[in-house]
Structure 1
Amino acid sequence: DTLQHVKDSKHIVVYHKGRYFKVWLYHDGRLLKPREIEQQIQRILDDDSEPQAGEEKLAALTAGDRVPWAKARQAYFSRGKNKQSLDAVEKAAFFVTLDDIEQGYRKEDPVRSLDVYAKSLMHGRCYDRWFDKSFTLIVFKNGRMGLNAEHSWADAPIVGHLWENVMATEYLELGYSEDGHCKGDTNQNIPIPTKLQWEIPEESLKILARKRQLLLKLSWSATCQKWPPILNSNCVKMKFKLLRVAKPLSSYFSLFKDMGKFSLTYEASMTRLFREGRTETVRSCTVESCNFVQTMEDPAESSEKKLKIFRVAAAKHQHLYRLAMTGAGIDRHLFCLYVVSKYLAVDSPFLKEVLSEPWRLSTSQTPQQHIDLKKNPEMLCCGGGFGPV
């Protein structure tokens, strides 16, 4: 795999009912306005053409094992129509899926509705998200939306902040007309979206079928559990502070209940105080957090004692976060030592042992930054998830 940087892109690719459409975002030298973009999307929704042979499940090649996709790409997508269409997808600003099902939070079944919503955003049907793109914007039939982002080009806060900006712009600035359309006028001079053309050979169809079965098994084994929204304008700040610490501590508690032991825990912290900073690891499974879990498990301990131990564990967790954010973490230094040892051809038993320890629990949090939730509590995002490879 290679990470490609496209200097500029003036189109997106939209997937709808098994078809791929190239949609230009510029007309007469300017970016399309919201009502014009809506017009282009409506043209796709009104298109009743059938998918070409193999087109519907083509994106399954981008999921799962990379080797079959690399071989198929070289054999079947390096020339002709397939190469032109693949270039259109890969050079698009981003990928859009217009899903034909409904998703979203339902008050009558809050937990399950969010679980299913999250799973759909994570993998969908395994062939309706282009997993090689920087991100896929997924729009469900009832207007609910979400993102599926590829991780190598950026960390979660980048995508989270992008999505916050989209939400704030749509909700607080652009708005909609009384009849539900985007504000502004349509423009019939804008060229209609172009259907991408494919010639999928029989052998490639067999590869798709095999990958589809494997991916279905993987998707069935994936579980998501979301907490329903519990915040209101009077308790947003207080509960955010509580949840930021309680969430990882509850994860250790769940792991201990499930496995009967503690484990090395990865928790991501941003290092954006530094120009080239991405993340640092918070090794948040500490003596204090273990003491908290064991105290919670002891029925003889009083509630006052449990609360006291919780506060000690929370203070330790916050301290580790501050160290990681300010460059005083551990793992990036260990990685630098590893790089230097490889450069100098030095065999380090210490590094070999430390870097081979398994991470059995991973957790990270991406708090909202741009939207004032005290003023707009209804804009609280459901959050996100991370599917480690």
Structure 2
Amino acid sequence: MSHFALRKTLNYNRSRVQKRFTLLFILQQTREQSTKECPKNAEDYEYIQKSKVPTMHFQASLPRLPIPKLEDSCRKYLDAQKPLLNEEQFAFTKTCVNQFLESEGQPLHKELLSIDKKNRHTSYISEYWFDMYLRDRQPLPINYNPMLVYSQETDKRYNDQLVKATNLVVSSIRFLKSLRAGILEPEVFHLNPKKSNTEFFRTFTGMLPSWLAWYGAFLLKAYPLDMSQYANLFNSTRIPEQGKDRISLDKSARHMVVMRGGHFYAFDILNQDGTIISPKKVAANLNFILQSKTSESESPVGILTGAERNQWAEARAHLSKIGNEEILKKIDSAAFVLVLDDQSIGDETNDEDYRKMVRHFLHGDGINRWFDKSFSLIITKDGFAGLNFEHSWGDGVAILRYFQDVKADITKNPWFRPEDRVLISNVNPQVESLKFNLDGKMKEIIQTEQEKYRKWVDSLSIAHMIYEGFGKEECKKFGVSPDAIMQLAFQLALYKQEGRSVATYESCSTSAFKHGRTETIRPCTEYTKAVCATMVNKDSGISAAELKKMIVDCSKAHTELVKNAAMGQGFDRHLFALKKMQEKLGKKTSLFEDPAYTAINQNILSTSTLSAPIVIAGGFGPVVPDGFGIAYMIQDKRLGAVVTSYSKHRSANDYVKNLQAAFEDIHKVMATP
């Protein structure tokens, strides 16, 4: 979820907390001190940050994710169903919900509350959410793994593949070491950064014990976020197993794995004493790999990580059986996987090259990928860099923090310069080549999976659009939420295309709570449906002023939905947990047997944003075969989206054309005096 949403949602009842404090005198006794940034010298080469507030300082005092009242969830669920059902369907669904509220759901809700009370160290959704991800047998790429692409460096010399790879590796390990040492700045959302994102804030909260620290931040209108997911950012991987995968973590490993042409290499990035190897050694090792004359692998094992999970589990078991267990462990335990591709993207301002870039980082041809790793850092021959990350271990908040901090470091503090290339010729590379032992059966499996993968990714349609001149600034002037305008446009585009409203998902972080994951915002509302019907029907007789008011009402309703979701007061995760509780107890209820419940969770429009100036592309696949995956960005003066769909079911190109028209229509109405 974008930060502007939290700004409107995290305003707790401040007076309740203030009464608990007699510590305000500390504010007058502390003095301003500078958080230690890492100056560019050998002594501080090891860390990307040296925060005076320990990384996990706020974790112990984070508030717990609330379980909504059953009646509230039922009411909000019915509100979300109204624009999707006809009168007869809605009447039936209402009957099912009433029965659930009055009888069937009560024991489930009571049991959920009881279990939550016994597990105060976590959230009620955490275990269910991990389980949901790890049990799904669908392939990871497109279905689950999102991607992000960095903007290029302004000094083109630093976009050289070797130079960029070296700097990204060094900065990544500096981030890792700061995280592990507990000196990475805690993740905090500041309602008013000018007043709270200060050394005064850090000194004050840093002096409080961990069990009080969150409350101290709260007094200053700042909200520390959950950082439990960061543990699995490095040295982590998802292991395929029959029925349910597992996450493996090995913090003792000191190496990283590099892929090129479907081949695997490894080298230590930490010395035995835990210090980072020099930038020249990193560069020498990477240069050795880049200069290797080895042709592309004829049997790329990495393609198997893009297979159906049970099939990959079976294939992996065979790989281990024929003598590859140590290589697999080497990949699994690596800090991360660096992917060096021999393909070039071209010019990201060219539409064709932009779509090529999205495809390349979202799925590629699967030959030079290992989709199971917590994240893979991918760098093309012409220096485009980005991430493809596995989703079960964590969400966008953690990955975006790493993404942004590393970008800032390589831009402001590059440890390897283009002119340093001449210095690596005297450095002896220390690279281990990881060669899989493959029998005839394994080679046949790999070939089969390659063919399946190629057909699958070829069926994916990708389109994108940028709407210039309408962004955050003008939305604020109009008095509407930029996110609400984006979501209204998504509804209007579909309405133009198909004349109906459909189940829609917008991701919202609940990281303001301990072990929070995400909640669903349901942006398809009666308000958006009314606006869409009016704008499509040119003879509605509604004036521009009335239509503008309808859009403002849409924005208000959407802002309330965002507020509820961010505060853990949506309905989706609550009902999801109750359904899991029902399955565990072997019961059936009218609400979950209702076809409308299945339908609302078949999200035709799946949307999410990770807006940041350094992101030039982001994307993910549709969550249902006949749906659209919409990754969108909101900037000061422009709005944009990357849209994916399967060509057999829906056209991403047609949708984007309608989305462009939707933006134009909405902008015209809002700009009318």
TM-score by length of 2: 0.51
Decide which moves more: 277-286 or 305-314. Answer: 305-314
1:16 to 260, 265, 275: 260
Structure 1: how far apart are the matches of 2:543 and 2:347?
Answer: 37
Percent identity between the aligned chains? 26
CA deviation after TM superposition for structure 1 residue 49, in Å? 3.2
Distance 1:236 1:309 in 2: 19
Say which SS state the counterpart of residue 618 (structure 2) adopts: coil
Measured against aligned partners, the alpha-carbon deviations of 1:181-220 in whole angstroms (never above 9, x if no partner) come to 58x9659566521110211111111111111111111111
Structure 1 position 216 matched with structure 2 position 454 = yes
CA distance in 2, matches of 1:246, 1:315: 11
- Displacement of 1:51 in angstroms is 5.7
RMSD across aligned positions (CA): 2.7
For 1:58, the aligned partner's letter is V
Instruction: Give the whole-Å Cα distance in 1 for the aligned partners of 2:260 and 2:566.
Output: 42
Structure-to-structure mapping, 1:107-122, within 5 angstroms: 107=349, 109=350, 111-122=351-362
Give the paired residue count: 370
Q: 1:237 to 1:33 in 2, by over 3 A?
A: farther
Indicate whether 1:333 and 2:574 are aligned. yes
Residue in structure 1 matched with residue 498 of structure 2 by the alignment: 259
2:397 maps to a residue whose letter is: P
Instruction: Tell me the equivalent position of 2:528.
Output: 289
Structure 1 residues 44 and 68 mapped into 2: Cα distance closer, same or farther (>3 Å)? same
1:134-173 alignment to 2 at 5 Å? 134-173=374-413
Higher relative contact order (CA 8 A, sep 6+): 2
Which among 306, 316, 328 is matched to residue 86 of structure 1? 328
Pairwise CA distance, 1:237: 5.5
In the aligned structure 2, how far is the partner of 1:31 from the partner of 1:190? Answer: 17
Deviation for aligned residue 1:106: 3.4
Q: Is the 8 A contact 1:36 1:185 kept in 2?
A: no
Moved more, 251-260 or 298-307: 298-307
Match of 1:73 in 2: 316
Change in Cα spacing, 1:175 to 1:289, as seen in structure 2 (3 Å) is farther
Distance across 1 between alignment mates of 2:617 and 2:482: 13
Counterpart in the other structure of 1:372: none
Distance in 2 between the 1:188 and 1:312 partners? 67
Show CA shifts across 1:76-112 (max 9, x none): 32352x22211111111111111111125433x2x32
CA shift for structure 1 position 343: 4.0
**Candidates 262, 276, 288, aligned match of 1:31:** 276
* Contact 2:404-2:614 at 8 Å conserved across structures: no
User: What CA distance in whole angstroms lies between the structure 2 residues aligned with 1:339 and 1:318?
Assistant: 29
In 1, are the aligned partners of 2:508 and 2:566 still within 8 Å (CA)?
Answer: yes
Match of 1:99 in 2: 341
Alignment check: 8 A CA contact 2:579 2:592 kept:
yes
CA-CA distance at 1:324 after TM superposition: 0.3
2:623 pairs with 1:382: no
Structure 1: distance between partners of 2:266 and 2:475:
44
Whichever residue aligns with residue 318 of structure 1, its letter is T
Q: Which amino acid aligns with 1:37?
A: V
**271-280 or 69-78, which deviates more:** 69-78
Change (3 A) 1:51 1:344: closer
Q: Distance in 1 between matches of 2:469 and 2:380?
A: 25
In the alignment, structure 1 segments of 5+ residues that lack a partner are 369-378
Cα distance change on mapping 1:282 and 1:180 into 2, 3 Å: farther
Cα displacement (A) at 1:53 = 5.5
3-state DSSP of counterpart to 1:130: coil
Find 1:202's aligned residue among 422, 440, 447: 440
Correspondence for 1:272 = 511
In the aligned structure 1, how far is the partner of 2:416 from the partner of 2:482?
34
Q: Distance in 1 between matches of 2:530 and 2:436?
A: 59
Contact 1:14-1:95 within 8 A present in 2 as well: yes
Give the structure with the higher percent helix: 2
Give the TM-score normalised by structure 1: 0.86
Find the residue that maps to 1:255 and give its secondary structure.
Answer: helix
- Tell whether the 8 Å contact from 2:284 to 2:427 is kept in structure 1 after alignment: no
Contact 1:19–1:50 (8 Å) recurs in 2: no
**Residue type of the alignment partner of 2:277:** L
Q: Any idea what SS the aligned residue of 2:366 has?
A: coil
Is there any run of 5+ residues in structure 2 with no aligned partner, and where? 1-244, 625-673
Bigger Rg, which one:
2
Q: C-alpha distance in 2, partners of 1:284/1:236?
A: 19
> 1:252 corresponds to which letter in structure 2?
Q
CA contact (8 A) 2:344 2:381 kept: yes
Does 1:247 find its partner at 2:489?
Answer: no
Change (3 A) 1:318 1:121: same
